[in-house]
Amino acid sequence: MAFLNAFLLYCFGCIFQFKIFLKNDFGVVLLTFWLHGQAMVGLAFLASTVLSRSTQAVAMGFATFLLGFVVFFMVGIFGFPYGQLDGTLPFAFDTNITTGIPIEKTNSDRAAAPILALIPPSMLVQDLNVMGRFTLSDQDAGMRMSNVSNYCTPERSCDSRFSLGSSWGIFIALYLIYSVIALYLDNVLADAMGVRKPLWYFVTPAYWGLGNSYVKDCREVVEPSTDPDVLEEEARIQARMNEPADIDSAIEVRGLIAEFRRSGKPFFAVKAPWYKVKKNHLLALLGPNGAGKTTTVNMLTGFIPPSRGNALIMGQTVAHPAGMSAVRRVMGVCPQFDTLWAALSAREHLQLFAAIKGVAKNDIPLEAMRRIEEVRLTDAADRMAGTYSGGMRRRLSVAIALIGKRASIEPASEF
């Protein structure tokens, strides 16, 4: 998208006969705008990690807009800190009184230019200044690809560290640096549910899909049960502690605990139950509000991590990142509330989620249509979901949960 934006910008600049587009090499203009766009994408990734609401994004967007004006006046009008070609000296240089030749300063103010270079628009304004200077008069031929770095000398009031060619490398470096920092912060900062990875997550084998997903079971009693059927089921599962799941088990819950804090005191939403769900069977969790039904489902689907205990889904533990990654490949979830886009049809929803779930591209249309027929939405397949009744939206949510590649997964190799 950044490349397309840069290309269209160049085309319209030529259409309107702007000299900066007509005289400078096509590659010079395209690379400058494209790589600046990539740097801004990295900066946007970084900003998104600390924004949780749309109102915050609007405020940051407005602040960025104002920052652009400040940078334009600093760099474009006053030449701070990079200077102006054949004009104002860069901030890191001074004129030798004896010889009149610009020399680099040795004091700390030389840090101003690199610091401002961390803001991509500052380098873009500097690049536009240079390209504009090379097209100022009718005699100027513009900037050539072969000249993007060697034009820059102190005698021409130019710091070679921030020449046009150097700015391309700075843009690429900023894109990579901002993106890596954004990826790291996205993992270590808590999300809306308070879930986050440890600060050193990237050095753990589980993050790279390596290592064993074995999690040792533990027997912890939060609130002892008095129901004979519950006690019998607990005893049956506990007798197989730290062993692989039964071959006929789809889910085995082994002492799963969800603990929260209320006014500094511990509160248990899920109190270490033990039970299993057989393959090709249905299990209904019944109970009043606050019984822990939704919290249990959230832990089994990886939405929140268990405080303690364990659960196995198709032989893989949900208490380990590697195990949860394997579970997500074969799990479909129909949430309590519909999460649909009003402007998309049922067919478009299912094709989108089929692609996300890993269905082969050629199979997506057939897979989507099959799910539509299963939930009896054939007549409304191409209607926008915003026009559906509540029941139709529920059926579409069920179809989304069912669609996708249902590959088998191997259980954890060590118990």
pLDDT digits (tens, 9 = 90+) for 332-370: 888 888 889 999 999 999 999 999 888 899 999 999 999
Q: What pLDDT does residue 107 have?
A: 64
Question: How many angstroms separate the CA atoms of 212 and 412, rounded?
Answer: 7
How far does CA 186 lie from the centroid of its chain?
7
Q: What is the pLDDT of residues 24-61, one digit of tens each?
A: 999 999 999 999 999 999 999 999 998 888 888 899 88
Going by C-beta distance under 8 Å and a sequence separation of 6 or more, which residues neighbour residue 197?
A: 187, 188, 207, 321
List the one residue out of 281, 320, 290, 279 whose CA is nearest residue 302. Answer: 320
Tell me the domains of the chain and their CATH numbers.
2-188 (no CATH), 228-328 (3.40.50.300), 332-415 (3.40.50.300)
Q: What pLDDT does residue 209 have?
A: 67
Q: What pLDDT does residue 414 have?
A: 44
Q: What pLDDT does residue 407 have?
A: 47
Residue that the structure tokens 């259980």 belong to: 411
Average pLDDT for the chain? 88
Q: What pLDDT does residue 413 have?
A: 43
Question: How many angstroms separate the CA atoms of 165 and 149, rounded?
Answer: 5
Question: How many angstroms separate the CA atoms of 362 and 170, rounded?
Answer: 41
Question: How many angstroms separate the CA atoms of 300 and 310, rounded?
Answer: 10
Q: What pLDDT does residue 118 have?
A: 92
Residue that the structure tokens 């950044």 belong to: 2
CB 214 within 8 A of CB 414: yes
CB 270 within 8 A of CB 292: yes
Low-confidence ranges of the chain (pLDDT < 70): 106-109, 193, 209, 211-213, 405-415
pTM, two decimals, is 0.73
